A = this chain, B = another copy of it.
Amino acid sequence: MQHAIAIGKVSAATGVKVPTIRYYEQIGLLPPPPRTEGNRRTYDRKDAERLTFIRHSRELGFEIDQIRTLLSLQDRPDQSCGEADVIAKARLAEVKEKIASLLALEAELERMVEGCSHGRVETCQVIEILADHGKCRHHQHEQ
């Protein structure tokens, strides 16, 4: 309760939007903070750090449930960090896969765009390639 920070301040400090902070409290990712007499949430430095941790984890693409695990690990520093390692490695594998699929996708889009004659739709490679999957090289990727 040393530094009673308002939700807007903590939002500005951490880069997490105000409704998102309330949402994180709602789903139990952030503990419910004490309130002022006027019922306003008051945060301290530790909460801000936790939010930074969450935001950074989200930026790295971790899911909320994974962040929950990561946070609980952080709370008990004497434990083995094996679980954190497993989560990070899994995410790394996902990212590598996604990069590969996006590179294939990039190649196909390049081909489409380059093939566009800027004429009628009839002769347009963009529409043509979308319509006929046989005309395309890549096959396996999502998003």
Contacts and interface: CB of A to CB of B under 8 A. Distances in A.
Interface of A: 49, 52-53, 55-57, 59-61, 70, 73-74, 76-82, 84-85, 87-89, 91-92, 95-96, 98-99, 102-103, 105-106, 108-110, 112-113, 116-124, 126-127, 129-131, 133, 136, 141-143
B99 A102 contact: yes
B133 A81 contact: no
A15 to B, nearest CB: 9
Given A56-B131, A81-B118, A88-B126, 14 more contacts: A53-B130, A55-B133, A74-B131, A77-B122, A80-B121, A81-B119, A81-B123, A85-B116, A85-B126, A88-B109, A88-B113, A95-B106, A99-B99, A99-B102
Nearest to A125: B81
**Which 9 pairs show the lowest CB-CB distances between chains A and B?**
A81-B124, A92-B109, A77-B122, A84-B126, A81-B121, A77-B121, A85-B116, A88-B126, A99-B102
A79 B113 CA distance: 17
